[in-house]
Amino acid sequence: MNKDEKRLQRRKRLMDNKAYQTMQGLSRYMDRYYLDALIGVIPGWGDAIALLSVVPFVYFSSRVIKSIPLTLAVLNNALRDVLMGMIPFFVGDIIDFFHRANIKNMQMIQGFVDGDEAIIKQVNQRALQSAIVLIVLMLLIVLMIWLLISFGSYLYSLI
C-alpha cells in the first residue's frame, strides 16, 4: 500500500467518524440556516446554548486528529463567536449572521482531514497567537457577562 492509498484510507476513516458527521450537520444548521443567530436571541442563554455546538469540533480536533494548534484555533473561533454574539440590543445576533464560526471550524478541520498543507501550516503558525487570543477572549467574555448582569440589575432597579 503506497502513501496516497494510506492517506485516502485515513481520510475515509476520519470522514466516517460520528463526530465528523455531527460537525457537518451543525455547520449546516447553525451557520447556513442561521440557527446560531436565532438561538442567540434567547436572552441570557442563547449564546451559551450555541456554544455547545463547538463540543464535537473540539473533540474531533483534540481526540481524533490530535492537534493542539487546531484545537486552539477551533476554540478561538468559537469564543470569538460567543463574545460577538453577546453584544446587546440584537447587534450580536446580526453579527452572528455573518461570522459563521462553525463553517470556519469545519473548513480548518477539513483541511487537516484532506492533508491540505497550506491550512495545516497556517493553523500551526498561528498556534501561539490562538492561545493568547483564547485567554483574552475568555477574559472579555467574563467581563461582558459582568457588564450584562450589572446593566440588567440597573434596569431592574429602575422598575
pLDDT (tens digit per residue) in 14-64:
999 999 999 999 999 998 898 888 888 887 688 788 889 999 999 999 999
d(CA 130, CA 69): 8
Orientation angle between helical segments 127-158 and 117-125, nearest 10 degrees: 60
What sections of the chain are H helices per DSSP?
3-15, 18-26, 35-40, 46-51, 55-59, 68-85, 91-99, 101-114, 117-125, 127-158
Supply the pLDDT for residue 107: 95
The grid coordinates listed for 16 are: 466516517
82 CB neighbour count, 10 Å cutoff: 23
What's the distance, Cα to Cα, between the start and end of the chain in Å? 73
| Degrees to nearest 5, angle at CA 72 with 80 and 148 | 30
Orientation angle between helical segments 101-114 and 117-125, nearest 10 degrees: 120
Supply the pLDDT for residue 62: 96
* Residue among 69, 71, 65, 43 nearest 114 (CA): 65
Query: What is the maximum alpha-carbon separation in the chain?
Result: 73
- Looking at per-residue pLDDT, the higher value among 89 and 17 belongs to 17
- Looking at per-residue pLDDT, the higher value among 26 and 3 belongs to 26
pTM, rounded to two decimals: 0.80
